[in-house]
Amino acid sequence: MTEFQRIILVHYHEIGLKGHNRASFEMRLLKNLEALLADFPVVTIHRISGRICVFLREGTSWDTAVEASDIVSKVPGVARVSSGFKCERDLDEMAEAAVVALAEAGDFATFKVAARRNHTDFATNSMEMNQIIGGALCEACPDKQVKMKNPDVTVGVEVVQNAAYVYARSVPGVGGLPVGSSGKVVCLLSSGIDSPVATWKLARRGAVCIGVHFSGRPQTSDASEYLVDDIARVLERTGCIGRVYTVPFGDYQREIALTVPPELRVIMYRRLMFKVAEELARREGAGALVTGESLGQVASQTLDNIRCTDEAVKLPVFRPLIGTDKLEIIAEAERLGTFEISSQDAPDCCTLFMPRAPETHGKVSVVLEAESALPIETWVAEIADAAEPRDYACPSYKPRKRRENAQG
């Protein structure tokens, strides 16, 4: 039996709809895949005929190929991932490769062949290829049935200029745009369930995400910081986060709690967080803030209180979960792989010095008057300077140089 070179075909949808910028999106996705597959036996990665093809070293095992393709399926910008083989533009070889690919596709009862030629210099047309390769598969799998609509497995055969690609195992990707194609954002990242999902959603839209975690330290333990690091490690697997700043915030919350009316504490905490996040965004060259807020979920997330916190900053604030309920967010967190981490108890700034009856309908004028008693601008600079950065493996993230940070 011929031993074929294993490949991973990366299909995309939204990128393919781009006009003159399409090539830059494709190259961004290609570069992200190169970095994220660095530990796998990859020979090279090329753009071919509206696809990206990952060529694996000869002798690569099926398990390794599946592991690599599963990682690829979770990378933003990827619509579908197919595992298969490269072979010569020879019908006998293509049929043999199709038999091997179908045998590795898992359990199935029905199948069909979907062949196409991208160059007319190959004499056999798509219909004829379907018949020839389909006949070989029927002979190899006599107990399986051909089904043209909604089969269990579709065997793909693509004939390009210098080779043919044959595959059967195909899994959906997460879609979206490649990280690095939509600028940079700063995400308020807690150890809770919501904000990691919000961060991932912005990464899926092509943004390079930088987290800011407000820790209750030194008024609480640093347990939440370890959970946030675990969350960032999950996001890091598919290049969805570049850096996390940890901000010791407890002492400033204590000062707020001693100065402002108790019912306004939560709004004041949020406003100061937003201002610090905006300063870090300025230093990073980011264009927006991101939070995991969902309308009406807690006291700080009412329409009036959101207006009070938004007034504190000039940057736009993105809330990708604003119309999502808790069960939907939990389901997303489970798919993402952060839910179990976020479900662990850890004291953080969100529960520190909480009032018994927080204001749910804050008024901007009242908030500004109370805030005038605090040295906010001095605090913002102090807190941003004290923020502790930790970098993660994001191919699209390039830390700014210190001089750039100072100049803004």
Q: Could you tell me which residues are annotated as the binding site? A: 188-189, 213-214, 270, 292, 301
**Distance, CA of 3 to chain centre:** 35
Q: How far is CA 217 from the centre of its chain?
A: 29
Whether 215 contacts 365, CB under 8 Å: no
Interatomic CA distance for residues 352 and 348, integer angstroms: 7
Q: For the chain, how far is it from start to end, CA to CA, in angstroms?
A: 62
CB neighbours of residue 336 within 10 Å: 21
Q: What is the DSSP letter of 356?
A: S
**Closest to 29 measured CA to CA, from 18, 156, 39, 341:** 18
Range 339-343 contact pairs with CB under 8 angstroms and sequence separation of 24 or more: 339/193, 341/191, 341/227, 341/230, 341/231, 341/234, 342/191, 342/192, 342/193, 342/196, 342/227, 342/231, 343/193
**How far is Cα of residue 219 from the mean position of the Cα atoms in its chain?**
33
Q: Is 297 helix (H, G, I), strand (E, B) or coil?
A: coil
Question: Which of 208-228 are b and which e, b meaning 16 or more Cβ less than 10 Å from the residue's Cβ?
Answer: bbbbbbbbbbebbeebbbebb
Q: Which residues are annotated as a binding site for ATP?
A: 188-189, 213-214, 270, 292, 301
Smallest Cα–Cα separation from 259: which of 383, 376, 377? 376
Q: Are 196 and 338 in contact (CB under 8 A)?
A: yes
* CB 312, CB 370: distance < 8 Å: no
